[in-house]
A and B are shown apart, each in its own frame.
Chain A
Amino acid sequence: MSLSRAFFAVIRRDLVLALRRRSEIANPLLFFILVITLFPLGIGAQPHLLQAIAPGIIWVSALLAAMLSLDSLFRSDFDDGSIEQILLSPHPTTVLVLAKIIAHWLVTGLPLLIVAPLLAVFLGMPNHALGILLLTLLLGTPVLSLIGAIGVALTVGLRRGGMILSLLVLPLYVPVLIFAGNAVQMASGGLPVDAQINILISILLMALVLAPLPVAAALKMSIN
């Protein structure tokens, strides 16, 4: 009975499950791609405007795509009772939920990182900003999954929790959006972005350490 074995078993199980119901991966990714490709069409032939708002477009789309995928984090486990078995395991619930959140990010956050450079070029973002864009996504999207998990854990027991979930989670997403969007904007202009990156790193570390605790507590509350 080792904790690391349980941790990796949970990640592995969730990845296998995601592979078996592919729409769960495809949905947020497709949303991300669609929104970003629609912007140039909506704005028309104004390449400078597009270039100026590209960081905002990419980050807002990433944020909404992450929100869209949140409900799948605990929904099926809640409906079929797997959450009960996870809570009854002698291992600490916080570690097991962290495994679930990591698996969720691998399935919904990582694909965004892979398509983002292509879409950035599409919006006319300068090449030297691509690295920073990827870095902010790498640091920021896990935070979206971690913070979102708290909201989902609180609302998974409600029949129509979608609306409350957005209200709960969106305000907490704002700092990530501000710092990440700003970093990419500055990088496009050739300015240093160390401060923003450092803040994003600290937000990520804090979320990584602090988020699993309320998630575990909220899940325990939700199953009643």
Chain B
Amino acid sequence: MQTKSTHSFEGAGLSCIRDDRVLFEQLAFELLSGQVLLLEGKNGSGKTSLLRILCGFREPDAGAIRWCGDAIKDSSFYAQMAYVGHLDGIKKELTVLENLKMSLALNSPGRYSIDQALSKVHLSGYDDVLVQALSAGQKRRLSLARLLITENVLWILDEPFTSLDRQGIALIETLMIEHCANGGMIVLTSHHDIALHNVDVLTINLS
């Protein structure tokens, strides 16, 4: 069970330079349990680069990222975060169940069992279906189901609403509200207007 203890995720003086172009500099934020950080900006403004820096895939050209006060490499950051990016990290030759079991083996078990998570994202009954037979929206819901079965506090989501229909978007919003109510925190980019009631949403505009 997730405890209500507070976590903090902060970035200070972050900057990113790609191909001699400054995407952003002196960017700072502080995110506490229950809060959402929404990154806005036009295409190419560095939203995805920032997310990848926050995941630790890329070193920031300046600045530091801290998880509960410690540098992310020296903290429990990787045991407490989950990332869903442009690439969904799902094997199309494996079944829905095999994919989720793999995610579970790589991380610690979280709040929901695989069955519960599948019914939450409206994929129950698809356990033994090969992922290549799923639609784009179903695949996206499957990659988001990974957030529910593994133990995590911080969700880092890159355009989570891509290829989801209106119902799907509402579903993910509900899950996000629930996650925040349980003391979780979310960093996301989105082109859609998101409706998160009773959640403290911080916004950074990169353009």
CA distance A55 to B9 in the complex (A): 60
A1 to B76, alpha carbons, bound, how many Å?
14
Cβ of B191 under 8 Å from chain A:
no
Least CB distance, B6 to chain A, in whole angstroms: 21
Q: Residue B91 contacts which of A13, A87, A88, A224 (CB distance < 8 angstroms)?
A: A13
- Kindly name the residue among B79, B89, B106 whose own CB sees the greatest number of chain A CB atoms within 10 A: B106
Q: Would you call A81 and B78 a contact (CB within 8 A)?
A: no
Q: How far, in whole Å, are A96 and B106 apart by their CA atoms in the complex?
A: 9
Q: Which of chain B's residues have a CB closer than 8 A to the CB of A159?
A: none
Note all chain A residues with C-beta closer than 8 A to B107: 1, 89-90
- Name B57's contact: one of A5, A79, A87 (CB within 8 Å): A87
Report, as a range, how many residues of chain A touch the other chain.
20 to 34
Inter-subunit contact B91/A17 (CB<8 Å): yes
Q: Which of B42-91 contact A (CB under 8 A)?
A: 52, 55-58, 76, 78-79, 81-83, 85-91
Indicate whether A9 sits within 8 Å of B101 (C-beta atoms), given known contacts A87-B57, A88-B83, A89-B107. yes
Of B21-29, B92-100, B179-187, the segment with at least 4 beta carbons within 8 Å of chain A is B92-100
Check B57–A17 contact: CB distance below 8 A: no
Q: Are B91 and A82 in contact (CB under 8 A)?
A: yes
Q: Is the CB of B105 within 8 A of A90?
A: no
| Cβ contacts A17-39/B at 8 Å (1 or 0 each) | 10011000000000000000000
Q: How large is the interface on B (under 10, 10 to 19, 20 to 34, 35 or more residues)?
A: 20 to 34
Q: A13-B91, A16-B98, A84-B85 are in contact. Are A224 and B103 (CB under 8 A)?
A: no
Name the distance in Å between B152's Cβ and chain A's nearest Cβ: 10
> A75 at the A/B interface (Cβ < 8 Å)?
no
Question: Is A86's CB within 8 Å of the partner chain B?
Answer: yes
- What residues of B have a CB within 8 angstroms of the CB of A84 in the complex? 55, 57, 83, 85, 87, 89
Q: Which A residues are CB-close (under 8 A) to B78?
A: 88-90
- CB contact between B102 and one of A13, A81, A91 (< 8 Å): that residue: A13
Chain A residues, CB < 8 A from B106: 6, 9, 85-86, 89, 91, 96
Find chain B residues with CB under 8 A from A87 CB.
57
Report yes or no: B87 in contact with A81, Cβ–Cβ below 8 A. Answer: yes
CA distance A87 to B81 in the complex (A): 12
Rounded to whole angstroms, the CA-CA distance of A13 and B106 in the bound complex is 12
Q: Give B101's nearest chain A residue, CB to CB.
A: A9
Cross-chain contact B52 with A9 (CB below 8 angstroms) = no
**In the bound complex, do residue A224 and residue B55 qualify as a contact, i.e. CB atoms below 8 Å apart?**
no
Q: A1-B107, A1-B108, A80-B89 are in contact. Are A220 and B79 (CB under 8 A)?
A: no
How far is B92's CA from A79's CA once the two chains are assembled, in angstroms?
Answer: 11
CA distance A90 to B78 in the complex (A): 5
Cβ contact within 8 Å between A81 and B94? no
A138 at the interface (CB under 8 A from B): no
Q: Is the CB of B89 within 8 A of A224?
A: no
Per the bound structure, the CA–CA distance linking A17 and B50 in Å amounts to 33
Q: What are 13 A-B pairs at a CB distance below 8 A?
A: A5-B105, A10-B102, A16-B98, A17-B91, A80-B91, A84-B57, A87-B57, A88-B81, A88-B82, A88-B83, A89-B107, A90-B78, A90-B107
Listed in ascending order, the chain B residues whose CB lies under 8 Å from chain A are 52, 55-58, 76, 78-79, 81-83, 85-94, 98, 101-103, 105-109
